[in-house]
Chains A and B, each alone.
Chain A
Amino acid sequence: MIGFQTLLYKEVLRFWKVATQTLMAPIITAMLYLLIFGHVLEAHVQVFPGVTYTAFLVPGLVMMSVLQNAFANTSSSLIQSKITGNLVFVLLTPLSHWELFSAYVLAAMVRGLAVGVGVFVITVWFAPLSFVAPLWILLFALLGAAILGTMGLIGGIWAEKFDQLAAFQNFLIVPATFLAGVFYSVHSLPPFWQAVSHLNPFFYMIDGFRYGFFGHSDVPPIISFSIVLVFFMVLATVAVKLLKSGYKLRH
């Protein structure tokens, strides 16, 4: 247990020591999105009845920040440790694959949620929000962070160079989060793109998270939650198997 705690502590300390980059920067970015898109679209768009566009945007931006930063934490930690070679300090220890998995993913969740809370605290002043179902808010935030932390772990294990990881991030994670309905409701899309959106697991995370605030969603939250939970279990199984086999870590 001490081994796991130490790795978790180390992973949290790692991003905390560069908090300007890992916490402040994404909070500022999210605030800019809110100010710019809110300013331009506030008068023209109403997604849910009685909810202003800026208010609609806040939960989406919070969740997007949670997801992207959870991913960034595990993936950047692993690729840096692999390339600089200091991953050896972890690989030489008796830490089991379960301990490695939980410590890396939990640290990613801490960072994702810390950024999420930061974005929320700053953006909440710009729009009136309701909290219809706080438990859903919490569940989707936790599960979303765990999923992206796990994806970052898998990406970090798989990638051998920074640009491979950047490709993973820029061509998979970023489009999937942007197209998951952060800035719009997928109901506003043509039927074909609506169907495509329903194949994107990130859509269910954001849709369920937003339900917790407004009580409106494109899909009932229990269905979103089930899909997201299954998605997490599949990814977690893959990640633990990779760690156990030593894929690309133990040659």
Chain B
Amino acid sequence: MPAIQISDIKKQFGALQALAGVSLNIEEGEFFGLLGPNGAGKTTLISIIAGLSRADSGSVAIHGHDVVSAYRQARGLLGVVPQELVFDPFFTVRETLRMQSGYFGLKNNDAWIDEVMHHLDLTNKADSNMRSLSGGMKRRVLVAQALVHKPPVIMLDEPTAGVDVELRQTLWKFIARLNREGHTVVLTTHYLEEAQALCNRIAMLKAGQIVALDTTEALIRRISGSQLVLRLAHGSLPADLHGLLAHPDELVEGQPLTLRVNEYAEVEPILASLRKAGAVIEDMQLRQADLEDVFIQIMGGVK
């Protein structure tokens, strides 16, 4: 049984079709990435899974429990880190976490609360009021709140937006550990290197539709070859090489040039051609294709 089963979800906000029939199964134990530009429908989809939003049609089930008709079981299995930095200014960190445990029916949850606070570096802020915390600290509390009931399925909606390197590392170490222990993790992010490093499978959303769904490796393999990035001290790119430009419209003097190469053997003829044209290379890099290239290709290709 999938951890999350999404069947033909449609959602309309006025004239805007936020989700135009999304179907997707996320299996237990996956580290799943949901990528897409702003407004693609990622947060709407997460909200529908979490029960914060109601779909116009279609259904979602968490471990087989429908999020509308069996919402109590479904929500009990889910831990959601919302995108907005929200907090309750009346309470301290510990009070906040104790209360969140209580909402999920847990009493005497202090041992786990202490562990979560420890892993998120919150221990010395336990008795501080939420108002007094910095943005990064508030973000940590949001993550802790989503984890108080040890949910089998964890969803993080852009948890690292505007967050410093230290927190990102602390956060991913902890989430990766939970994933290894069997928790399913669903992540949306704009940091594609993060998604590439963490997610075993990725769905790309555009205008409310899934435009790519595959394992991370298979997605990256879609872009064959690498890129040769050149900066010329003198001269310009000879005309016979213009066909290799990755972004032909960015041909500006003094700017780096990006050429597509399929294998290393193609590099030597390019250099020879440049030498013949009298161009002098100031800087040169050979770059492997990554998820960002795939993302740009897929998002640009689907109109």
Q: Footprint of B on A, CB under 8 Å?
A: 2-3, 5-7, 9-10, 13-14, 17-18, 81, 84-86, 88-96, 246, 250-251
Assuming A85-B86, A89-B88, is B103 touching A251 (CB within 8 A)? Answer: no
Which 10 pairs show the lowest CB-CB distances between chains A and B? A6-B102, A85-B86, A93-B103, A94-B72, A94-B75, A86-B88, A94-B76, A2-B105, A86-B86, A14-B90
Q: Footprint of A on B, CB under 8 Å?
A: 47, 50-54, 71-73, 75-76, 78, 80, 82, 84, 86-91, 95, 99-107, 145
Residues of B contacting A95 with CB < 8 Å? 103
Residues of A contacting B80 with CB < 8 Å? 92
Point out the residue from B75, B87, B102 that lies within 8 Å of A92, measured CB to CB.
Answer: B75
Complex contact B52–A92 (CB within 8 A): yes
Closest chain-A Cβ to B47's Cβ sits at a distance in Å of 8
Assuming A14-B90, A84-B89, is B52 touching A94 (CB within 8 A)? Answer: no
CA gap between A251 and B89 in the complex, in Å: 24
Complex contact A90–B86 (CB within 8 A): no
Residues of A contacting B86 with CB < 8 Å? 84-86, 88-89
Complex contact A3–B104 (CB within 8 A): yes
CA gap between A7 and B103 in the complex, in Å: 7
Complex contact B107–A2 (CB within 8 A): yes
Closest to A85 in B: B86
Closest chain-B Cβ to A120's Cβ sits at a distance in Å of 27
Residues of A contacting B73 with CB < 8 Å? 94
Closest chain-A Cβ to B57's Cβ sits at a distance in Å of 16
Residues of A contacting B75 with CB < 8 Å? 92-94
Closest chain-A Cβ to B142's Cβ sits at a distance in Å of 9
Residues of A contacting B105 with CB < 8 Å? 2-3, 94
Complex contact B103–A91 (CB within 8 A): no
Closest chain-A Cβ to B41's Cβ sits at a distance in Å of 14
Closest chain-B Cβ to A51's Cβ sits at a distance in Å of 42
Residues of B contacting A7 with CB < 8 Å? 102-103
Point out the residue from B90, B100, B103 that lies within 8 Å of A13, measured CB to CB.
Answer: B90
Residue among A2, A3, A94, A246 with max Cβ neighbours from chain B (10 Å): A94
Closest chain-B Cβ to A249's Cβ sits at a distance in Å of 9
Residues of B contacting A89 with CB < 8 Å? 86, 88, 100, 103, 145
20 A-B contact pairs sorted by A residue (CB < 8 Å): A2-B107, A3-B104, A5-B102, A6-B101, A13-B90, A17-B90, A84-B86, A84-B88, A85-B84, A86-B86, A88-B52, A88-B84, A88-B86, A91-B52, A92-B51, A92-B52, A92-B78, A93-B75, A250-B51, A250-B52
CA gap between A18 and B72 in the complex, in Å: 32
Complex contact A3–B84 (CB within 8 A): no
CA gap between A88 and B47 in the complex, in Å: 10
Residues of B contacting A96 with CB < 8 Å? 72
Residues of A contacting B54 with CB < 8 Å? 246, 250-251
Residues of B contacting A5 with CB < 8 Å? 102
